Amino acid sequence: MTRAKPAFTGPDLCGLSACDAVKALRAGEVSASELVAASLTRIKETSPAINAMVTPCPERANTAAQRLDETSPLAGLPIGIKDLTPVAGVRTTWGSTAFADHVPERSDSLVTRLEARGAIVMGKTNTPEMGAGANTFNAVFGATRNPWDTRMNAGGSSGGSAAGLAVGEVWLSHGSDFGGSLRTPASYCGVVGLRPTPGRVASGGGADSFDPFGVEGPMARSVSDVALFLDAMTGFDPLDPLSYPGGGFLDACQKDAGPVRVAFSEDLGQLPVTAEIRDVLSGALTRVQASDLTVTKHRPKLPGLEHAFRTLRGVSMWTKAQVTPKRVSDHFKPTLAANIAQGGTLTVDDIAQANITRARCYASMMDLFATHDVLACPVTGLAPLPVEIEYPTEIAGHPARDYLDWLGFAFLATLTGLPALSLPVGFTPSGLPVGLQLIGPPRGEARLLQIARRIEQALALSTAPIDPNITH
């Protein structure tokens, strides 16, 4: 199934790509105020169906549109910011009732950087409580629904960002990723999401600012638009001890990819995958094969991957819990509280073994990159489920203990610090999008984006916004 061009009912401007919208802004063919108005109209049209942009900030956006520099990198382009990242003067809740009325006085340094480079913040996108979970719902705003079928979930934890992009509420949207929080919703909503190398996108630090697992990243409807957004996000920030300078990703992305060697693993040798996901991914990679793009089956050696990820994630969650006030943690949903408690049971031996396994997995990936440019694999092993289901109880006949079993394909890139991208490549028989995960070499975002764009062009799926498919 290919994406049919919808009977688009929103403002025509929302159908522009981010790159084309920036060109129009710089050429004076459209104003930032007009884009803000188009975005606000589209948010109003689609919010009742999908609940993606949960806190719009129209006055702030309109004020920003009056004083920006059209020569800046984003030139006045409206964007979404995930509701885990503070924006000055805009309600920021982390999806928690403990912060339901919180309005920060200062923005995170990532937001400040984006605004200095011409972004206009349209509002905050929905997320599960504290970003924990692959189904976007919380007690403050409720659930975000999948725009391709509003009975289904949009993935998480960047579900609001992904769903809003799919319907054209904004041209670019910010996400974050620890265990697939950016990649899963990109796959489920039919958009592109990039988890960059740790430190590539600096943020405002925090109590555990040396932790390399949680990263900020760009989401958009096409690979070029993601590259544009990544350029605006990057840069050294002394508040972030892992950050380093970089850029030039849009230029690199749009160059000829040359010969491409793809290693494909449909299950990473150990993870359950439904037949419909296998069929969509295998079919897409078969269609893109050419004289200059080869695909070979690969079975990476990754013993202990899941245990290492769960262990080091537990360390991260336990660390953050040490500086979380009780008045906040008392509100946590049971699954989040259980994750934190598990972190408190870890031993020094557990942590040491996880670090050893992590190094072995990295070495295995370096062996792969000696003969291939990217590793392709699923983003998740199954299609979206009804929005009321927090996480699946089984995947392809294999029992799931908790929501992490849903996300196993996300662990590898996070554990090894490698950049990874979710690219739309097709649809299930019921019409739900399926993303292909591409994992690139160390600090290899430029090459990863080139290859993703090469595959995107070969598949020629539409990147136009859709109208929400409201199914009862």
Please identify every residue annotated as catalytic: 82, 157, 181
Q: Are 419 and 187 in contact (CB under 8 A)?
A: no
Residue 66: which residues within 8 A CB-CB, separation 6 or more? Answer: 33
Contact predicate 427/228, CB 8 Å: no
- The span from the CA of 34 to the CA of 25, in Å, is 10
CA distance 445 to 451: 10
For 244, residues 6+ apart whose C-beta sits below 8 A from its C-beta are: 199, 200, 236
Would you state the structure tokens that stand for residue 470, as one six-digit string?
Answer: 């409201």
Cα of first residue to Cα of last residue in the chain, in angstroms, is 22
Tokens of 338: 């259980």
DSSP string, 167-203: TTS-SEEEEEESSSTTHHHHHHHT-EEEEPPTTSB--
b (16+ CB within 10 A) / e for 76-98: bbbbbbbbbbbbbebbbbbbbbb
Residue 157, preceding peptide bond in cis (omega within 30° of 0): yes
- The Cβ of residue 289 has, within 10 Å, a number of other Cβ atoms equal to 13
Q: Quickly count: other Cβ atoms within 10 Å of residue 303's Cβ.
A: 13
Contact 393, 400 (CB under 8 A): yes
Q: HEC states along 5-40? A: CCCCCCCHHHHCCHHHHHHHHHHCCCCHHHHHHHHH
DSSP codes, 193-233: EEEPPTTSB-----TTTT--S-EEEEEESSHHHHHHHHHHH
